[in-house]
Amino acid sequence: MKKEGILKQRFTTTSILIFLVLFLSGTVITVYSSSQLIAANKRKTWDIANAKVLESSIVETGSMRPMVKYSYEVGDKTYTGSSDLQAPGFGNKARQYDVARKLSRKYPIGKLISVYYNPLNNSESVIIITPLWDTYTRIAAGVVLLIASLFYLFYSVARRRKNTNRQSLVQ
């Protein structure tokens, strides 16, 4: 009798833990990625300024990425900013370098470009206002984890009911 109660309890505890891990992981990933998407959409309302490219190089930050440094004026103040142009950081080093080189060549020193700056904080600026390339993928992964957690919950409940019905028929 005690042994059966312990097995039921372990199964229930395990099911709850699996459900919670899937559900919380999915929720955190979805909320975090959605906040990045919301921030990218807010940047669409930022003001535009003309900027001058000060430096265009390739940096290694775990992966090879282009780095563009620029300066722009708002009113009578000059600000500087930088961007990695949202280059993807996957693939082998040679591929990363090729992508970074192609992107950095589009921004030679002295080139005039448009940047978007935050009207509430003029020192905050970006070249590209769209969300990062992987934002939508992370949102989709979070939603998949949420759906998987719900399927697991329903499966666990259905399985437990089936086992309970079998036990009541045997007795």
Statement to judge: residues 72 and 110 lie in one domain: yes
- Mean pLDDT, consecutive 10-residue segments, the chain of 171 residues? 47 79 93 89 93 94 89 96 82 85 93 96 92 85 93 80 61 56
Statement to judge: residues 68 and 100 lie in one domain: yes
Write out the DSSP string of 34-49. Answer: HHHHHHHHHHTTSEEE
Statement to judge: residues 61 and 86 lie in one domain: yes
Residue 74: both structure tokens together:
């708002």
Statement to judge: residues 106 and 145 lie in one domain: no
Statement to judge: residues 92 and 52 lie in one domain: yes
Statement to judge: residues 91 and 143 lie in one domain: no
Q: What is the number of structural domains in the chain?
A: 2
The pLDDT of residue 17 is: 87
Encoded amino acid at 113, one letter:
I
Statement to judge: residues 74 and 143 lie in one domain: no
Statement to judge: residues 24 and 76 lie in one domain: no
Statement to judge: residues 34 and 83 lie in one domain: no
**H-run or E-run covering 63:** none
Task: For residue 39, report the phi and psi dihedrals to the nearest 5 degrees.
Answer: -60, -40
Encoded amino acid at 123, one letter:
S
The pLDDT of residue 132 is: 76
Which structural domain, as residue segments, surrounds residue 77?
A: 47-128
Total-model pTM: 0.68
The pLDDT of residue 7 is: 44
Packing angle, helices 2-43 and 135-170, rounded to 10: 160
The pLDDT of residue 13 is: 78
Statement to judge: residues 30 and 82 lie in one domain: no
State pLDDT tens for residues 113-122: 999 999 999 9
Statement to judge: residues 54 and 80 lie in one domain: yes
Statement to judge: residues 55 and 31 lie in one domain: no
